[in-house]
Structure 1
C-alpha cells in the first residue's frame, strides 16, 4: 500500500482527511500549555490532521498552536484538517450550532473541517459536562439522534463545518441515521477505539460498505492514568507478537501497531506529549507490513476495550451492549 506523509482518504462528501491525526486529549497530569506545545510540534513534524474536542478543555490552546503555525508560514489554514466534537450536554437541536460556534470562537477559526457527535449518549442539556442527581447518578437525556443529525446538517449548510460525522456509534446507531428518509448528508466517519486488541473488523466492514471512514483512537492502547481504564488490562505495546514483528521489520512496536491499522484503511489518531514519540509516531510511511504479518496481527485480537463508559450503561443509547 503506497502511503506517504501527505496521504489522505476521500470522504463521502468529497473532502479529504489526512490518514494520521494528532490527538489533543490530555489527562489531568498534563497542562493545557503542553497541549499547545505538542500541537505546534506535531504540525512542524508534518501532521496536518488535528483531533480535538470541546470536552478536552484545551481548544483555546490548540487553536493558538494552529494559528501560530499559520502565522509563521509553516502551514496555510487549508492545509490543516481540524476535528471538533459535540459533547453529550448539547444534543438537543437548539444547542448544536451554539456548541459549534463556541468551539470556533475558542479555536479562533472561521470553520471546522469536521464536527462529530462525541457519543450517541446525551445528558441533561446545560453547562454541566457530567450532570448528576443528589445521589451522584448521571442525569441522562434521550434526544432523538435524528433531530441532532438534522441540526448537524444545518451547520454544514451554514458553512460552519465542511464535513459531519459521529464517534462511538455502533452499527444500529449508524443505521438510524443512514435510514432517515430525509437524510441530506451521510456521516463521513465513525471515530471509535481501535487497536490490535480491538481490531473492529465487523464494524470496519459495515462502515466500508456504507462509504464511512473508520477513525481509530487509542491505537497504541490507553493512558493508565485515566480512572475508567482497568489498570490490570494487557498493554498493547508490550504484546509479544507485536514486538516480534517490530524486531523483524526494525521498527518500534508503536509504528507497527499504527501501520497495521493504516494498511486496513483505518485513519489513525496518535496521542503523545513526548517530542520524541510525536516524531516517531509520524514515521510510518517508509515501510510496509507483509500479508503474513498482517494476518498474524489479525490473530491477536481480543475484543478488549480500554474505554468502557461503564457508569453510563443504563443510558438508552449506550453503544456497547451490541456486538459492534
Structure 2
C-alpha cells in the first residue's frame, strides 16, 4: 500500500509541475524571466512551511548543519531554473520536455565523475544512446538558419539539464547531514534572493491577472516539490523514478491544447529514445539494488 501511495503522490506531483510549467510559459511571454523565477520561488515557501508543520516541526525547514552546502546547491539550481524557464519561452513545450529528460543520464555521468560511483558498460551505453536521441531532437534546429531562436532555446535547455544533474549530485551529498525540507526551503530562499537581483535590469509591474497566475505558479511548484519529496519517502526510488515520464503526457497535452504546439517527428523519435534509455537506467539501478540487498543478506548470515 505504501508503494501505491508513493506512486500516486509521484503522479500527483507531475500534474502540479505541469500546471506550474504552463503558467510559467504563459506569464513569461510578457514578464521578465527573473521576475517569474522570483514569484515562483517566493510563493512556494508558504506551502512548504505549512506541510512541514503539519507533518512535524516547521523548524526542520531552517535547521542546518552545513549552510554553505545550501548556498552552493541553490545557486546551481537557480541558474538551472533560469535556463529552463527561458528555454520554454523559445521552444515548443513538447520539445523542451523531451530534451530535459536526458537529466537521469546527466546524473549517471556526473555521479561517476564527482561521486566516483561505479558505472558499467550497460549504463554508459544508455547514456550514449540518450545523447543520440537528443541529437535527433535537435537535428531540425541544427539544420536551420543561424537566426533560429529555437537553437538558443535548445542550448539553454541542455544547460539547464546539466546544471539540474549537478544539483542532483550536490543534493545526494547533502542528504547525509541535511533534512529534505531544509534543502528545499533554502533553495527557494536563495533562488528568490538570486532572482530579485534581476530587478536592476528592469521589472514589469504585472496586472492583477498576471500577478495571480505567477502566485499560482509558485504554489503549484511548491506543492509539486512537496508531493515529489514525500513520494520518495514512501517507496524505493527505483520504483518511483519511472513515473517522472508521465510529465511527457501532461506537457504534450498542454502544449497542444493551450499553445497549439505539436510535437514534430524528430521530437517524437528522439524523445522516445531518450525516455527508453532513461527507463533502462532506472531498471538497471533497480537490478543492482536487488543484487546489493542479496549480498548484504548473505554476508549477514
Tell me the TM-score normalized by structure 1.
0.22
Tell me the TM-score normalized by structure 2.
0.23
Select the structure that is richer in strand.
1
